[in-house]
Structure 1
Amino acid sequence: MKLRVYLLIASGVSTGIILLTLFICYIYMLLKWKDVILLSAVTVGAAGVSMLIHYYMTRPLEKAIHAITQETTQISEGHFEGQVPQIGPIEFQRLAGQFNHMTGKLNESFQKLRSAEVSRRELVANVSHDLRTPMASIQAFVEALQDDVIQDKATFARYLQTIRLETGRLDGLIQELFKLSQLDAGGTEFVPERYNVDHLLLDSLQSLAFQLEEKQLQIDIDLPERLPPVAIMPQEMKRVLSNILDNAIRHSPVGGTISIQAKQLSAPYVQLNIQDEGQGMEEADSKKIFDRFYRADPSRTRTSGGAGLGLAIAKSIVELHGGTIGVESQTAIDNRGSRFWFTLPIDQ
């Protein structure tokens, strides 16, 4: 039975009881039949008008419930874009508002699930590709060595060196995947310690000294005289800085300059900026540069561009510290380079 019919029946029953009570009162008041009939007719007329008003007054209730029912049907079929109109009494308007808020949250959750599924498929495809290339190379060189195709010692040593490099790349990719999965699963406990930013920069630059010297790059560092220590996990933040610097080195021209600037923000954070003199990137690339396995140039291989996990790992580590990370870049036509930045919490 519909709610509106139920309410009308309830109203009719209560009105009937009132009419019966009034009719009995009229009789016991010793009125003439003419007066009893007249009063009864007036009472019945008033009851009819009341029922009619009740009928129209319940229409907004029926519409509101019907709208919510239709929307629940759409949700059951996987459609979360609809909105329930906020009509009827204030309680039903609040219910519609809460219902719309719920559908919005559900839509957001399902969009994240769909995005995660797409990312998972891309992850499997990219991992398969990045594993297949060095594995094929290793297999080819090993077969050549097994078949005694190589006779001279120099070529034999070169083949062994190539196999060593390829296995090193495989190990690096596996370690990156393990680190990323560990961060996603919350397996890395945040245990910060007091650390100075200048020590962080010095340690990271020393580990990249060979790459900097190979491309004859200059480092321009701008640090304020008084910079408060930060609360970080040093090894994790060195990984972040090394990943960003490695990216800057790879895209900088020979003999160029990489600028590093540190400054204290108004919030309790220190911001590090790393500016290179590379070709920069398009706006579409800058929005996706921190995605897993994303490469601004799809033709890049692991030899020239890495697996596309370094910046994704850097983002996860910075967010684990409660900071933010981003990039500002001119278009590739301007050749003004890219500026990566991230924030570190100040030690309190």
Structure 2
Amino acid sequence: MIPLHAFVEVAAYAASAALLTGAVGVALLYALRGRSIAILLTVVSAATVLATVTGIIAITMRMLITDHDRSVTLTVTAIAGLVGLGASLLLGHRLIAASRSLLDAVRRAGDSGRFVPPEKTLPAELNELATELSTAYERLEAAHARERALETSRRELVAWVSHDLRTPLAGLRAMAEALEDEVVTDAETVHRYHSQIRAEADRLAAMVDDLFELSRIHAGALRLSRQRVGLGELVSEAVAGTEPLARAKGVRLSGLAQGVLPVEVDAAELGRALRNLVVNAIRHTPQDGGVEIIAGVEHGMACVTVSDACGGIPDEDLPRLFDVAFRGETARTPGGGAGLGLAIARGIVEAHAGEIGVSNAGEGCRFVVRLPLGA
């Protein structure tokens, strides 16, 4: 057995040689930190081999062994080091090829807007990176699609609002000029003009209010004052508020709440969304038709359905029905305004972490609002 003092001496020489070589290797790695992975791996392998060889030389110089034994030991160590160095070079080459293929895929994605992962097999880390890049580009493409759709909606909104503002303003100007120039003097006509001016002013005020509400929704500035209320109460208020319009139109209006349905919502905002849906249904239901509002529970969520008898909507129009200013063949907006009613309803429902949808059912359409059910 080797004596303790000899073992300590051997360990000290080996450690000193390894530390010295390792320090040189670390310094080289720091100096070359921005270079290729293959170069860094070569430095690591060379430092390992030199540390081993230096340690063996330092040890054999202190040990009484023959030159033959020393040569054999150094030869074996050198061969093993060269094999390790070759393996490092091969690994570095593979990493470089994989990273370059990934870089080429990213560059192609910059031109086409779509990321296609490399066909060759990548190391696990690079493969994970490629998967994340693919997901990121898909999200980016979806965001661009939403941005394009929003920009299209904004252009449509400007066009429709310009048209809808121009018409009542032209009427207001004509009636005001007629009154100012005393073209109209009889009391009955003057009274009728005053009534029309008031009605058009109210219509313009409602349109401006809708625009302001929609701008708050799109800007994320809609502040909800939540409180615990019964969904049945909101349905009853929506029915009561739209009953005069239904009666004037000759439309049957009914509302029903199935059981106690507590929800944590902003009563004023959600009430506005429900009124928009009900008024929209009444506007597009012919005389003697019916509009039905039912509140219940479906799949653990509070649910409100508004069914009308409008005759249905073309299937290609259904996905865009809640878009700003979208009208399709038949306007689905209260009062024939700027196409904001359903867009506002969707914004309010989604601000409550709810969902809104529409489908053709029976003699007309069925709008469905789903909200988280309160405790």
Distance 1:115 1:161 in 2: 40
CA RMSD of aligned residues (A): 3.7
Quote the residue 1:313 is aligned against. 344
Tell me how many residue pairs correspond in the alignment.
Answer: 339
Paired position in structure 1 for 2:29: none
Q: Please give the secondary structure, in 1, of the residue aligned with 2:303.
A: strand
Q: CA 1:95 to 1:199, structure 2 compared with 1: closer, same or farther past 3 Å?
A: closer
Which residue of structure 2 aligns with residue 161 of structure 1?
195
SS in 1 for 2:343: helix
- Where 2:322 maps in the other structure, the secondary structure is coil
Contact 2:115 2:134 in 1 (8 A): no
Of residues 136, 141, 160 in structure 1, which corresponds to 2:175? Answer: 141
Closer, same or farther in 2 for the Cα pair 1:22/1:202, shift >3 Å?
closer
Structure 2 residue aligned with 1:100? 134
Instruction: Write out per-residue CA displacement over residues 189-247 of structure 1, whole angstroms, 9 at most, x where no aligned residue.
Output: 333334334433332222222221222222344443x3344433332232122111111
Read off the aligned partner of 1:317 and give its amino acid letter. I
SS, match of residue 115 in structure 2: coil
Instruction: Pick the aligned partner of 1:195 from 223, 229, 246.
Output: 229
**TM-score, length of structure 1 as denominator length:** 0.79
Q: Secondary structure at the match of 1:327?
A: strand
The answer to whether structure 1 residue 341 and structure 2 residue 368 are counterparts is yes
Of residues 333, 357, 361 in structure 2, which corresponds to 1:326? 357
Looking at structure 1, the residues matched to 76 and 142 of structure 2 have their Cα atoms a distance apart, in angstroms, of 59
Equivalent position SS for 2:153: helix
Deviations 1:38-90 (A, max 9, x none): 98877766655544433333233112321343355456668353435684433
Residue 308 of structure 1 aligns to a residue whose secondary structure is coil
Mapping of residues 178-193 of structure 1, within 5 Å: 178-193=212-227
Do the aligned residues in 2 keep the contact of 1:232 with 1:345 (CA within 8 Å)?
A: no
Q: Is the CA contact (8 Å cut-off) linking 1:221 and 1:259 kept in structure 2?
A: yes
Does the CA contact (< 8 Å) of 2:280 and 2:333 recur in 1? Answer: no
In structure 2, the partner of 1:280 is 312
Indicate yes or no: 2:324 matched with 1:297: no
Asked whether 1:248 is paired with 2:275, we answer: no
Q: In 2 relative to 1, CA 223–20 (structure 1 residues): closer, same or farther, beyond 3 Å?
A: closer
Report if the CA contact (8 A) 2:153-2:326 is conserved: no
Question: Percent sequence identity over matched residues?
Answer: 29
Aligned with 2:291 (options 234, 249, 258): 258
**Is 1:231 equivalent to 2:264 in the alignment?**
yes
Deviation at 1:121, TM superposition (A): 3.3
* Mapping of residues 31-180 of structure 1, within 5 Å: 31=67, 48-73=82-107, 79-83=113-117, 87-180=121-214
1:173: Cα distance to partner? 0.6
Q: Quick one: which amino acid aligns to residue 359 of structure 2?
A: E
- Tell me whether 202-211 or 112-121 shows the greater mean CA deviation: 112-121
For 1:207 and 1:117, how far apart are their aligned partners in 2? 34
SS of aligned partner of 1:143: helix
Does the 8 Å CA contact 2:290/2:308 hold for their aligned counterparts? yes
Amino acid at match of 1:53: A
Q: 1:44 to 1:115 in 2, by over 3 A?
A: same
Deviation at 1:21, TM superposition (A): 7.3
Distance 1:137 1:29, change over 3 A: farther
Q: Structure 2, unaligned stretches of length 5 or more?
A: 1-34
Determine if contact 2:280/2:334 at 8 Å carries over to the other structure.
no
Structure 1: segments with no counterpart, 5+ residues: none
